[in-house]
Amino acid sequence: MVLWVFGYGSLVWNPGFDFDERIIGFIKDYKRVFDVACIDHRGTPENPARTLNLEAEKGAVCWGAAFCVSGGAEKEAEAMKYLERRECEYDRKISVSFYKEGDCVIPALTGVLVFVSTPDRNINKYYLGPAPLDQMARQIATAKGPCGNNREYLFSLERALFEIGHEDDYVIQLANEVRKVLAGLKEKKSRMSGPHLLVKFNFGSVYLPALREATVADSR
């Protein structure tokens, strides 16, 4: 029995489990969105990080990596145990067809597993929902948790997609907006803690009256 898992986020650059094969490719009719809360890795309950999810959209393409786990039920079970613990914010597993570059008609793989999060706040506490780009950028720029900050996640994704040769315009746009926020925060901090000014006081000439000659008494 063989397990195939599609990674569209941190799995692309940091799978973290024992796999036998990695293939670069894409799935159809889904796009990346940053609408899942992370409260224990790169964020906190008070200031959650924004991490990836997949949103259905006809005609969309999402590039990533498919990982194969073969070698028996025990190895597959170990991989699934790890993934379910790591992807705890994702309450659903869906099965998709996976395509390789150069053939967008016939899938290279079918029945590939993907972790996704239900887009409904009423039944999914991790679903944040959409937000304006500038608002998401401020949240990603400032959120941090035990495993690092939120912006590292976004910048690592941007770099990973560049390295596999399939950048995502949405990811680039959001990353650039986060950089603007960080630059603004740095400038604000610099103004608040700017250089201390040396203030010189000029009192001019000061008139001191002449002192009377003191009479010294000999105590002997």
From the candidates 46, 87, 177, 187, give the one annotated as an active-site residue: 87
What is the spatial distance between Cα 157 and Cα 214, in angstroms, rounded to a whole number?
Answer: 85
Structure tokens at 9: 């986020």
- The alpha carbon of residue 142 and the mean position of all alpha carbons in its chain are separated, in whole angstroms, by 10
Reduced to 3 states (helix: H, G, I; strand: E, B; else coil), residue 92 is: strand
What is the spatial distance between Cα 15 and Cα 2, in angstroms, rounded to a whole number?
Answer: 17
In the chain the first and final C-alpha atoms are separated, in Å, by 115
**87 counts as catalytic:** yes
Which pairing describes strands 49-69 and 92-100: parallel, antiparallel, or unpaired?
unpaired
Structure tokens at 134: 């500038």
Q: Contact 21/67 with Cβ under 8 angstroms?
A: yes
Q: What is the DSSP string of 18-74?
A: --SEEEEEEEEEEEEEEEEEESSSS--SSS-EEEEEEEEEEEEEEEEEEEEE-S-HH
Catalytic amino acids? 87
